[in-house]
Structure 1
Amino acid sequence: MNKSKVCIMLSTYNGVKYIDEQMESLLAQHEVDVQIIIRDDGSSDGTVQKLNEYAQSHLDKIRVIEGENLGVIGSFFELMRQTEPVYDYYSFCDQDDVWKPDKLRRAVAKLQLRQTNIPLMYCSSTQMVDQDLNNLNVWPTLPPKTLSMYNAMVENCCVGCTMVLNPIAFEQIRGSAPIDLKPVIMHDRWIYLYVSALGEVIFDEEPMILYRQHQENVLGGGSEDWLMKWKNRLKRFFSEGSFSLSKQASLFLETYREYLSAQQQRDIRHFLNQLDRSWVQRIRYASKMPFYRQAFLDNLVLKLIYVLKKI
């Protein structure tokens, strides 16, 4: 039986400290044929030299692209553009995590159980770890509500480095990427939004990667008290707002209008248009809007930032 060919798209930037652990875990994937396409986003440390060493010793598996600094969003979209649509599946990868050996095999098996004529995306929980790979907590947990466009428009439940796409999802997103990426909040949020609107998202609650947390990007390793968690929650939502959700929603509607159902188009337009109404009308709309976040309290904050026009 032929192994599935899975393309791993890895973007790097000054990641020499942890790249060995990541690369070894990619090369150790079970029961799949991996091809690793790496785009370096203008590193100034020893990352490129290290990657070229791997490429020299795995000529049939690794390709390194040295690029100018575009930032994480631009780098991943450029990676998609430079990846030929010739593989069975496509996955995204960060530079400092560690993948479990069965990550891709498990993702492929779950994707193969679904119909193949629509965009499909697999994602999973992660085992959050500290810089030395000591376990913190599992995040995100299995979402209690449906992973639909109505969630993806206002929240991301899918961590980019766990995502695996089928060919239809990859080719459609690759072929219709917006020229102006500034309204895109993050590449994984855009992909989750696309697949949830036009296909199906598969969430695996079994953590399949060790997701390394650094001091500057800790999402909550379990040591915060409830007051700090609420402070960080509100800070995150208000900083995430500043009109970014509405700008991305507007771009998404503009880009994919012809592919969305009439109901989806109406709901997105209503979401955008009600922001220009009176505060009373915004309250009325927010109280019954079809867009939602997974957690009850997060959903309340969503309604608040909508009424305050900070969305």
Structure 2
Amino acid sequence: MPVEHPKVAVLLAAYNGVPWIEEQLSSILDQSAIDVTVFISVDQSSDGTEVLCHACAATHPNVVVLSDLGRFGGASRNFFRLIRDVDFSHFEFIAFADQDDIWHSSKLLRATESISEQKVDAYSSNVIAFWPDGRSILLDKAQPQVELDYFFEAAGPGCTYVMTNALARSLKTSMLENWQRLQDVSLHDWYCYAYARSNGYRWYIDPVASMDYRQHERNQVGANTGLRSLISRYKTIHDGWWFSQVRLIATLVAPDKTASSIIRRSLHGTQLIKLSFNAWQCRRRIRDKVFFFFICWVSALLGSKS
């Protein structure tokens, strides 16, 4: 009898991806010991991405291109569309994919086995960021999870996420109930992690890198490294974007939870100073805990557009 492999629905959001998407699709379709179906949603592109994706679907029966819905204007809305429109009732696991990475052949097998062995509902992992000039670096996101981290950060790059069917169905139901407000969420991976953790689902962050994470000038969100990245992060906090996203996500994923209510009340004025003393429970990495502590004080004393 043939061996039955885990069935995984891979949700891939594409936009102007002609330079990379064929290589990415090849790495997904070459996954070891996994029954993969790739669902592609193409944000209206100018480089022929739609044509290329349909050509791939014509030669690969396990590649499905969703109908054209026009312009989404960002990866987050594109991924939300995929979760809403794909029928994944017959799949055991649901995974996210970007168009420009390269998956290791064991990525999905390791993810599904880890979910089973760790007795969790979702998985993410470290990645190896690489640049056109040949540089590469391990991006370590696998620090121990803490009590409130999901209100302030994702579980690593969303392109590493793999969820059980039960979690994905629950996530979809909540999304449909909050569809209009959901369109203002900028980072789908942060939102999905926050939904899972705030609703009692267990998450495992694997210290082993599962993929090569391509860096280029068109990355919507890239590797968070160096001083330039730190300055950029401060600007998003000072101009109010980060605080507004924290408040929105907390409201959407856990409107009636005590922790969510406390967080929403703590994002302005002197309340930020009180929040700063909980920095150890708000971010996973030590450097980020320290940054969080100081940014709360700076925002409280100098003000931000929160």
Find the residue that maps to 1:127 and give its secondary structure: strand
Q: TM (normalized to structure 2)?
A: 0.85
Question: Are 2:139 and 1:139 equivalent residues in the alignment?
Answer: yes
Shift of 1:157: 3.4
Equivalent residues of 1:93, 1:160 under 8 A apart: yes
Query: Where does residue 26 of structure 1 map in the other structure?
Result: 28
Residues 240 and 159 (structure 1), Cα distance of their counterparts in 2 relative to 1, 3 Å cut: farther
Number of equivalenced pairs: 290
Matched, 1:73 2:71: no
The residue that corresponds to 1:100 in the other structure is: 104
Give me the whole-angstrom Cα distance separating, in 2, the residues matched to 1:127 and 1:285.
33
Which of 269, 293, 304 aligns to 2:283? It is 293
1:236 alignment partner, SS class: helix
How far apart in 2 are the matches of 1:275 and 1:128? 32
Contact 2:142–2:206, Cα closer than 8 Å, also in 1: yes
Judged with a 3 Å threshold, the aligned counterparts in structure 2 of structure 1 residues 111 and 282 are, in CA distance, closer, same or farther, namely closer
TM-aligned CA deviation for residue 290 of structure 1: 6.7
- Secondary structure of the structure 2 residue equivalent to 1:165: strand
CA contact (8 A) 1:37 1:64 kept: yes
| Unmatched runs of 5 consecutive residues or more in structure 2 | none
CA separation of 1:253/1:152 partners in 2, compared to 1, >3 Å: closer, same or farther?
Answer: closer
Which segments of 5 or more consecutive residues in structure 1 lack a partner in the other structure?
222-228
Q: CA deviation at 1:237?
A: 3.1
User: RMSD of the TM alignment (CA)?
Assistant: 2.4
Counterpart in the other structure of 1:302 = 292
Structure 1, 212-221 or 86-95: larger mean CA deviation: 212-221
Partner residue of 2:95?
91
1:5 aligned to 7, 18, 26, which one? 7
* Segments of 4+ moved more than 4 angstroms: none
Please say if 1:154 is aligned against 2:144: no
Instruction: Say whether the 8 Å CA contact 2:146–2:284 is kept in structure 1.
Output: no
Query: Residue 141 of structure 2 contacts residue 205 of structure 2 at CA under 8 Å; is this kept in 1?
Result: no
- C-alpha distance after superposition, 1:259-305 (max 9, x if no partner): x6xxxx2232222223455x3x5424422467422233322322333
In the aligned structure 2, how far is the partner of 1:196 from the partner of 1:207? 22
Mapped contact 2:5–2:35 kept (Cα < 8 A):
yes
Paired residue type of 1:103: K
Letter in 2 for 1:136: S
- Asked whether 1:254 is paired with 2:251, we answer yes
Q: Determine what percentage of the aligned residue pairs are the same residue.
A: 24
Residues 69 and 241 (structure 1), Cα distance of their counterparts in 2 relative to 1, 3 Å cut: farther
Letter in 1 for 2:145: T
- Is 1:271–2:263 an aligned residue pair? yes
Q: Could you tell me which residue of structure 2 aligns to residue 189 of structure 1? A: 190
For 1:83-137, what per-residue CA distance to the aligned partner results, in whole angstroms no more than 9, with x for missing partners?
1132110000000111111111111111122447xxx1111111111237x4510
